[in-house]
Amino acid sequence: MVSFGAVSLAADMVYEGARSITGPLLGALGASAMVVGLVAGAGEAMSLLLRLAFGPLADRTGRYWSLTLVGYTLTAVCVPLLAVAPFLGGAGLALACLLILTERAGKAVRSPAKSALLAQAAGAVGRGRGFAVHKALDQLGAFAGPLLVAALVAATGLIWPAMAVLAVPGALAVGLLLWTRLRVPDPAAYDTDPPAPTAAPSRPPTALGRWLGTDLPRRFFLFAAAAGAATAGLVTFGIISFHASRTGLVPLASVPLLYAGAMATAAVAALVSGYLYDRWSGRVLLALPLLGAAVPALVLSGGVGAVITGTLIWGAAVGVQDSTVKALVADLVPAARRATAYGVFAAAQGLAALVGGGLVGALYTRSLPTLIAVLGATQFIALALLAVTLADRRSTSTSS
């Protein structure tokens, strides 16, 4: 698990470092605010929705390592190539947009396969703890990458040298992944847990149905709906930073520090929730909607202390959502269908994020109290769906 975490640490330095400066980079190449927004939105949609294809592909072919390697290689190559864009004149903007989108596609290629490998390897230490350690190291990279980029931009006054330097952690990530594969060619050897029981379908699923994950257990889809509601009701950092800087509560130069603090909190929350998951199972996830419900009232307020507190709570919610949630997914589905499940799960979260983003955008300028109330109600729905999921899981385990 530490080897996997080290790979993610190095890779997160690359793409989180780039994401911290992507907007200014595109702007310097001549992009309008609309282009920047479209590229960012399309990239995030690709990184989630394309997993619906690459998850089943990993399960059908069994090439978990190959897909993981391809995905990380795309990140390691595309981000440093952004350093070339300023020297290509008018073609530089087009190349930068293409590289950013390709890097996000690389995340979609690797994520379901990587999560399936992690779920297998975590069998040796406890699935909650395994995902937690991985997430903590991952967040360390997300913390260090932007700081490295900020230091290089401050020292040189230019963006492209920072992109070029990110080739170093990118090469390190790919090298560590190859080394890990040689050391542990078959993580399934550590997967000592019995496969989750699955009710027999009333009729055999079609090939398309299996591809889309319709043969997965009902409790998985209940959990996907719960996590989707929690995602839709969680304010994004983009809105948090927009509100904080627009109102003057947080100076623009301090916004990256606010984000870094949230990432540090996410790492701690992932470790704590992962440890508790191995002791209390999925019940620890009942805290996720409660954390999400507390965020809007704080970050959309008029006090600096409330904004900072709300941002740290947001970081904690993100840490749980990106680590311990995946442990429960692995426990809800058969081992042979985990990559498919992760792909379907990510697609559900991607669609929920789009709906939530549109909802926030529509209500933010109209009524903040209404926005806070609607997001709170969405988290209540998430809490109810999660409670039903856990009850269904217990009844299924008892009957089996």
The pLDDT confidence band at residue 186, using thresholds 50, 70 and 90, is: confident
Average pLDDT over residues 266-274: 88
Long-range CB pairs of 87-90 (<8 Å, 24+ gap) are 87/160, 90/30
For residue 327, pLDDT over 80 is answered with: yes
Average pLDDT over residues 316-329: 86
* Mean of the per-residue pLDDT values of the chain: 83
Average pLDDT over residues 85-104: 92
For residue 6, pLDDT over 50 is answered with: yes
d(Cα 142, Cα 228) in Å, to the nearest integer? 23
As a whole-number percent, the residues of the chain with pLDDT over 70 amount to: 86
Average pLDDT over residues 348-373: 83
Spell out the residues 6+ positions from residue 279 whose beta carbon is closer than 8 angstroms to its own: none
C-beta separation of 16 from 145 below 8 A: yes
Helices 91-121 and 33-49: crossing angle, nearest 10°? 30
C-beta separation of 6 from 63 below 8 A: no
Cα 263 to Cα 98, 163, 249, 320: the distances in Å are: 27, 21, 20, 12
d(Cα 248, Cα 243) in Å, to the nearest integer? 8
Per residue in 146-169, pLDDT tens? Answer: 888 888 888 888 889 989 999 999
C-beta separation of 300 from 246 below 8 A: no
Structural domains of the chain, ranges and CATH numbers in brackets: 1-173 (1.20.1250.20), 208-400 (1.20.1250.20)
Average pLDDT over residues 181-201: 60
For residue 145, pLDDT over 70 is answered with: yes
Radius of gyration of the chain (CA): 21
Average pLDDT over residues 39-62: 83
d(Cα 391, Cα 389) in Å, to the nearest integer? 5
Average pLDDT over residues 86-105: 92
Tokens of 145: 């990458």
